[in-house]
Structure 1
Amino acid sequence: MQMIIVDDEAHWVDNLALHKPWHELGIEQVHRAYSAFEALQLIDTHPIDIVISDVQMPEMTGIELIERIRIRDKKMKCIILSGHSEFEYAKKALLHNAVDYLLKPPTDQELFGAVKTAMDQLNAEWELVSSLERTRHTLRENLPILRGQLLLDALQGRRLSIDEWRRKLSDYGLPFHFENSALMLVRLEEEFGRYKNNGQPLIEYAIMNMAEEILGEFMEVWGVKEEHGYLVFLLQLKESAGGAGQETLLEKLSQQLQHKVKQFLKGSLSIVITEWFAFPEQLPDRFRQASAYFREIVGDERDFVVRVNEVDHTPAQGPLNALYVPPSLINLLEAGHWDAAEAKLTAVCTELEEKWPESWEHCMEAGFLIAASFSNLAHRSGYTLTKLLETGDMEALQSGEAFVTIKKLGKWSLSVLHKLKEASSSSVKDSRSQYVKKIQDYADKHLHEDVSLRALADHINLHPTHLSKIYKIETGEGISDYISRLRMERACHLLKATGKKVYEISMEIGYMDPAYFIKVFKRHFGVTPQEYRDGALLP
């Protein structure tokens, strides 16, 4: 766990943070803040669990600090320290769920006891959140979505190991085994078009329920709607159904589903059924065959129940698989997963070499899709392939020379991929530099206002944690350090170049309390603002 100690008395903060055996309690890191504003900046950038804060501080009290913390994080534990036994402060602290209210100086026993109580409360709360029963409850609530996505991924060709399949089937409560299965694809016909703008999901849900009711007496049923609009059902015979006549049984049940849908939902279905196959290894191939049957055999006809004939439907040329197995190339490019994109391109070329070394059409298919993905990413990023690529690469694309052979396709696509990666890296760096410039410009003009990390993040519409990381990466300096340095530099300039009073300078650089400004200035430079104005040299 991480903790922060907040007090405007620096020696008090340093003593508590540096000279107490916090590690023995399990505290991994102790942060120090010398004002409530500084504490909020640290809370925005670090996963703070426990706050120990003085109650009386300039600019913002400990109670006000807790109020702001509660807006950010309801679970963070707060302990208040005070030099006085003030009932009103204690009452307010308790109202904001402070763990304890201790009088200064607390004994080690009191302080460690309060921190231990805070840690016990945090552990209990997070154990509840992460408890097995809660996880099971959440899993049950989301089971339909999880089951559907698993089947969709498998239909699209995403491969899982046998151990992964066993674990997921068990976790999702799916009574399927590695044995003969069949697929049923259902197409809703045009009568259901009247529901497209209102009620289509309900109709699909009703049909899926009817299918499970009719088929479920004899088979395990696992259904989902896939991207082309088909309702897809994976089926396995139950032991009670026996093995005899399974093809005719499935056709009979399909016709029954057609009849019931027409009777009660006033619409027609067309259905394609596959041969029985080995699950899960043959699942994506059988799905592609069934989809092809709808396109090639059923076509625009209605009220069909057709069984895929494996013998008659073996294509002379198979499809290129590696390019279409999820995640797609364009998704990998958009996510910036460059290594995975390179591996996918390599897999495509390997498949071409192994299966279709002489097929120019397969090479062209891969080339066009790869080029389209590259162009799409370039256009989304605000530039064109023409400006990005060297003359030779662009000419090879325009002439089709890049796709003439598998070797040329591999060389061209990897070359362009690396150029896209370089352009993306430059774009990221330019964007980060723009963020830094905006932050510094805003802070320079609004130093007398709120220039906390959250205010800066809100100004440029970025999360405080991400902004802090970007600024640190680009400048090597934390934002709070930059703001503090800017204020001190501005104070030095105003003290020497103007006749403004110290309290005026304090207000101008963002310190509402002049006494606190004097304290910070002296801690920073070793002399007071007036001593510096009078000629004292800075160390």
Structure 2
Amino acid sequence: MQMIIVDDEAHWVDNLSMTKPWHTLGIEHVHKAYSAHEALQIIDTHPIDIVISDILMPEMTGIELIERIRIRDKRIKCIILSGHSDFEFAKKAVQHKAVDYLLKPPTDIELLGAVKAAIDQLNLEWETVSSFERTQHTLRENLPLLRGQLLLDALKGHRMSADEWSRKLDNYGLPFNYGECALMLVRMEEEFGQYRNNGQPLIEYAIINMAEEIMGEYMEVWGVKEEHGYLVFLLQFKEQGSVIGKETILEKLSSQLQYKVKQFLKGSLSIVITEWFQFPEQLSEHFRQASSYFRQIVGDEREFVMRVSNLEHNATQGPLGALYLPPTFINLLEAGRWEAAEEKLLAVCAELDEKWFGSWEHCMEAGFLISASFTHLAHRNGHTLVSLLGSDIEPLQNGDAFSSISKLRMWSLGVLSKLKEGTSNEIKDIRSLYVKKTQEFADKNLHLDVSLRVLADHVNLHPTHLSKIYKIETGEGISDYIAHLRMERACHSLKTSNKKVYEISMEIGYMDPAYFIKVFKRQFGVTPQEYRDSNK
């Protein structure tokens, strides 16, 4: 679980976060915030379970912070700290379902006891949602099976009249209206493989129940498992008309589903979300588009939340394009340009997915040319393809390598990996490119909005995914990098220019000079002006 401590007095935050044995309660990470606004930014980008907040803070009180948290997520547990035993404050804390109201300074027994109570409440709530007893009961019911079959038929493209749709939606108690919907496809990753022969349906129903619990506050949720193993959810906002930030809401709820499934069911999910479309007429097309998008994601990529853009599906006749665009695949192999060759393979398979999904002939055409190029490279270097590939030659010999786009992709990428093994030690690391792009953008736009959401949009990643990549590559969080960059820029300006402190504050992205001075002093122990004077 993750917790955040909020107080405008830095020593309280630092002391509580670093000196208490939170790990003994199962708290994996303790975030620190020195203002309510900073806390809300962290809550928007991290799966926070528990908030410990001071009640009297400038700009926003702890009670107002809880009110805003409740708008975002009603399941987050809040604990209030106060230096005053004010009845009205305590009353409001109770009204907003705070777990506890503690007077400063709390004893360790009081503080750890309050957090333990919050954890017990969270565990009870989520165990109820994901319990096997509840999923077994749901599985025995006929109505969910009928609803699931109706959605499966619609995903496959079965046509129904408007009257028949209305009748079935009404009979099955499905509160969906004609209009704007989205699909969410969920892939259960390999951790769930242990249930394949025992308990798999119960796990799937548990995930469906958790999705309904998490998303049900904002939207109608209709879920089913389809024949390829994906869990498919049709989603429609309960509020009719324009919903501000609905893409952001959907992505955040999807990330929360990932987190809660990993926390309570011990397995990971990968998620693809479609653009909004008109239900029911465009349902089948967008399902094919989303499942095609999943097939394009290869390698070790997992635990993502991605939104697929609208793609136009062309006619079923015509030539392959990417396969023959120069430089050709065989030329790339001859030149030893392994990364470009891999990109070519991915581009070919992507085109097959997007344009020739149902055409075995196009898949076979690509397969024959790719395998001929591999064979030519082997012969040119004095080898046979059999000697280089070993057992991987069998799918080529029996034709299985070309039987589907996914098999062609897997086989050809595997063969390419074997051919380049030991030839090149310089493998392009896409994560380092994301880090470089993120840092360059932050450096150039420090005076503007460089929040995690803006940075993620710049590199076309989900904020949580970018945060993970950045942490893996650099060992620090993006917010830490931005903070260090701002302080370095401020120090440089203080030493080398005559700009006013408020001007420097604005240049590095602090709109409130007083807050900038507070952060600077917390970092260096002196005010910006004192720092400037000492460096003259």
TM-score by length of 1: 0.49
Bigger Rg over Cα: 1
TM-score, normalising length: structure 2: 0.49
